[in-house]
Amino acid sequence: MRASRSFSGADEANAVLSQLSGPDGPFRDVRLTHSRSLLRTTTRLTGVVDLAAGAAAFADPDLSGRVGDTLPLDLNRLRDELGADADQELQVALEADLPGSVRANAPQEGGRAVWRPALGQQVPVEASSEAVALVPLVPVVAGLLLLVVVGAAFLVWRRRSRA
Tens digits of per-residue pLDDT, 95-119? Answer: 998 888 899 999 999 889 999 998 8
Task: Report DSSP letters for the chain, one per residue.
Answer: -------SSHHHHHHHHHHHH-TTSSEEEEEEEEEE-SSEEEEEEEEEEE-TTGGGGG--HHHHHHH-S-S--SHHHHHHHH-TTHHHHS---EEE--SSEEEESS-EETTEEEE-PPTT-EEEEEEEEEEE--TTHHHHHHHHHHHHHHHHHHHHHHHHHH-
Beta bridge mates, 131: 41
Backbone phi and psi for residue 72, each to the nearest 5 degrees, phi listed first: -80, 75
Structure-model confidence comparison of residues 56 and 74, the more confident one: 56
pLDDT, one tens digit per residue, over 79-98 is 677 666 665 667 888 899 88
Under the banding of pLDDT at 50, 70 and 90, the label for residue 143 is confident
Q: pTM of the full predicted structure?
A: 0.68
pLDDT at res. 146:
84
| Cβ contacts of 142 within 8 Å, gap of 6 or more | none
